[in-house]
Amino acid sequence: MAQVIADRKDIDFVLYEQFDTETVIEHDRYKAFNLKTFDLILKEARNFAAKEILPTYVEGDRNGACFENGAVKAPESYRRPFEMFRQAGWSSLSEDPQYGGQGLPHLINTAASEYLMGTNFAFSSYTSLGHGTGKMIELFGTEKQKELFLKKLYTAEWGGTMLLTEPGAGSDVGALTTTAAKNADGTYAISGNKIFITAGDHDLTDNIIHPVLARIQGAPSGTKGISLFIVPKIWVNDDGHPQEPNDVVCIGIEEKMGLHGSATCSLTLGGKGRCRGILLGEENQGMKVMFHMMNEARLGVGIQALVHASAAYLYALEYARQRHQGRALEKMMDPEAPQVPIIQHPDVRRMLLWMKAYVEGMRSFCYFVANSLEMAELEASVEKRQAHQDLVDLLTPVLKTYNAEYGFKVCVMAIQVFGGYGYTKEYPVEQLARDCKIASLYEGTNGIQAMDLLVRKLGMKKGRIFLTFIEQIKKVIRCAQSIQKLKELADEMEPVVDQLEKTAMHIGQTVMSTEIKTALAHSVPFLEVMGDVVMAWMLLWRAVAASQKMEDGVKKKDLVFYEGQIKSAEFFIQGELPVTMGKMQAILRGTKAAVEIPEAAFGG
C-alpha cells in the first residue's frame, strides 16, 4: 500500500482561505518572507518528510529503541534523517534566527509540523523536545545560560527533555521527592529518580539538557516549594565545552504499547553523589517556569493527535477506493454483477465522512490556536495581545484532550474501514492507533485537563474569556446565516452554543459550591461538549470560507473540494451536535452516582 502524507490541499485551504496567513507578511517581523517563500518551505518539508522520515516509521516500530549495557540506542534508521533534519534547520522554525531558528510564523511552523511530525512522531520526539527546553531558558534563563545552551538546543545539536514524573508522585507533581542542595560554587547537588522521560537518553546527540524539578532543602511542601534546574547529561564548562558525565544515569526504558522508536526512560540523578544542576529562574518558582514548556507540549500533543488521525483517514480513504467487495446495492440480487469498491457502500461512506469531519475540524482547531499565539505576539496593544493569549490559555486543555480523544477514535475507525486487515501489521493503521493512544495520557491525562478547564480556566477574569470565546463562535454563525446555503446549518448550531453557555454557567457554579465532587465527575463530559462545539465552529467557518470562494468562482476541478467542506459541516452539525445536546442535558441533570456509589459496590 502506498504511504500517505498530510493533505497539502486542505492545509493550504486552512492557511490561506480560513486564516488569511498572508496578512502576517504585513508585520515587520516577517517582512523578509512572501507567499512564495512559505510555499517553498512547506514543499521542502513535505518532500523531506516523505523521502527521509516516513520510510523509518515501520522500521522504528518493529526494531524500536533499545537499552544495552547501560546505554540507550535509537533505531538505526533514525540516524541519517536526524542529522539531515538538524543540518537543514527544521528544529526551531518559529524562533529568532540569532538563536538558531528560522523566524517563521507560527501557522507555517504548524503546517510544516504536519509533515515533519506526522510522518513519524516517535522520530520527532528526539528532534522537538530540545525546543521546549530552550524556550524555558530563553524566557527565564540568565544571559550566561542562554549563551551556553540556547542555540545548541534550538538547532538540535543537543537534545532536551522534561523531568517531572516520579514513581511515587505521578501526576501529583507536588509530591516529588527529588532534592537539591546548594553547593559552594552556586550549583546544586541533585538527587532523585524520574520516570516516563521521553528521549531521556539516546545516542543521536552528544549531550542532553534536562530541566529537572526538585525541592531545595527546607523549601515549602507541595508545588509552592519546587524549583527548576538545568541538569546536563554531560557537564558544560563556562566556555561552552562539555566536560565529564554528570551522574545522570538511565536505568531502563519502558516497553510500550506504541511509539516503540521513542525511548521512554527511567533516570537516576546523583546515584553516586555527583549530579550538579544550575537553578533556572528563581527558587520555588519551578512550576511557573515549567508550565511554559508543559503548555507548549500540550499544544504539541493536539497536533500529534491530528497528524495520526489525518494519516489514518487518508489510508482508510485510499483502501476504500481500491478494495473491491460486494455488489452495488441496486444490483444486490444480480449474481453476475461485478464487485464494487467499498467506498460505494453507505456505511463505509458514513465512516469516511465521520473521519473527514473530525480531521478537518481538528486541523482548523490547531491552526486557530497557532494563529492566536501569533496575534498574542503581533498585536499593537497590550490589551489585544493579552486577549489572544487568554483565549489560548482557555483552549489549551480542550485542544490537548479533545484532539487526543478523537484523534485516537479516528485511528480506530480507520481500522474498522479496513476490516480484519486493519487489525494486522500488513497495513499501517494498527500502528497509528497504538502510537496515537498516548496522547490522552501524557502531558496531563484527560481527567486532569478537564479539571484544569473547570477549576482554573472557565472562570478566568470572572468568565469574560469564556464569553469572548462564545462571541467568536456566534460571529461565524451570523456570517453563515447571511449565506443562503448555510443558513439552515447556522440556525441549527445557534441553540447548541446557547446551551453550552448555560451549561458552563451551571457547572461553574457547581464547582464553587459544596457539590464540587459532582461537578468534577462531569468535567470530562463538559470538556467533550466544549470540544464538540469547537469542531462545529471550525467546520462552519470552513463552510463559510468555501462558500465565499465558490461565489468568487473556482475551477471545475476544485469545485468538489469546496463542496466537500460544506458536506463536512452538514454531517457534523446535523449528525453529531444533537448528541452533544444530549450530553449537556446529562451534565445539567448532574447525577451523583459516580461520587455516591460505595467503593465495595464496584465489585471485584
Q: In terms of domains, do 586 and 489 share one?
A: yes
Domain boundary among 232, 259, 285: 285
Q: What is the CATH number of the domain that holds 56?
A: 1.10.540.10
Amino acid at 192: G
Q: In terms of domains, do 210 and 124 share one?
A: no
Residue with cell 468568487: 552
Q: In terms of domains, do 259 and 195 share one?
A: yes
- For the chain, the first-to-last Cα distance in angstroms comes to 45
Q: How far is Cα 526 from Cα 205, in angstroms, rounded to an integer?
A: 43
Whether residue 487 lies inside any domain: the answer is yes
Q: In terms of domains, do 222 and 135 share one?
A: no
Per-residue pLDDT, 320: 97
Asked if 417 and 351 count as a contact pair (C-beta separation under 8 A), the reply is yes
Reference 139, options 259, 285, 245; nearest CA is 285
Please tell me the total count of domains within the chain: 3
Per-residue pLDDT, 460: 93
> What is the number of other CB atoms lying within 10 angstroms of the CB of residue 414?
30
Domain boundary among 154, 181, 202: 154
Note the Cα 290 to chain centre separation in Å. 17
Asked if 312 and 414 count as a contact pair (C-beta separation under 8 A), the reply is yes
Q: In terms of domains, do 139 and 202 share one?
A: no
Per-residue pLDDT, 260: 98
Per-residue pLDDT, 56: 97
Q: Which of 138, 443, 528, 570 is catalytic?
A: 443
Query: Strand, helix or coil at 21?
Result: helix
Whether residue 147 lies inside any domain: the answer is yes
Q: What is the CATH number of the domain that holds 211?
A: 2.40.110.20
Q: In terms of domains, do 106 and 196 share one?
A: no
Kind and range of the H or E run holding 191: strand 188-198
Whether residue 235 lies inside any domain: the answer is yes
Residue with cell 468534577: 520
- Local structure of residue 117 (DSSP, 8 states): T
Q: In terms of domains, do 24 and 134 share one?
A: yes
Q: In terms of domains, do 39 and 131 share one?
A: yes
Q: In terms of domains, do 476 and 584 share one?
A: yes
Residue with cell 485516537: 408
pLDDT averaged per 10 residues in sequence order, the chain, 604 residues: 86 95 90 93 97 96 95 97 95 91 94 96 94 93 96 96 86 85 96 96 96 94 93 94 93 97 97 96 91 83 96 97 92 89 96 98 97 93 95 96 98 98 96 97 91 94 96 98 97 98 95 92 97 98 96 87 97 98 96 94 91
Per-residue pLDDT, 288: 87
Bridge partners, 215 (sequence order):
179, 226
Whether residue 399 lies inside any domain: the answer is no
Whether residue 187 lies inside any domain: the answer is yes
Whether residue 2 lies inside any domain: the answer is no
Q: In terms of domains, do 202 and 264 share one?
A: yes
Q: How far is Cα 542 from Cα 535, in angstroms, rounded to an integer?
A: 10
Per-residue pLDDT, 173: 77
Q: In terms of domains, do 463 and 591 share one?
A: yes
Give the HSE-up count for residue 250: Cα atoms under 13 Å, Cβ half-sphere. Answer: 25
Q: How far is Cα 305 from Cα 58, in angstroms, rounded to an integer?
A: 18
Cα distances (angstroms) measured from residue 265 to each of 194, 201, 204, 375: 8, 7, 15, 37
Whether residue 581 lies inside any domain: the answer is yes
Q: Is 567 buried (19+), middle (13-18) or exposed (0-12) by CB count in 10 A?
A: middle
Per-residue pLDDT, 170: 67
Domain that holds residue 144: 19-64+76-154
143 is catalytic: no
Whether residue 182 lies inside any domain: the answer is yes
Reference 494, options 512, 474, 522; nearest CA is 474
**Axis-axis angle for helices 487-511, 577-589 (nearest 10):** 20
Reference 543, options 489, 598, 468; nearest CA is 489
Domain boundary among 261, 285, 309: 285
Q: In terms of domains, do 484 and 544 share one?
A: yes
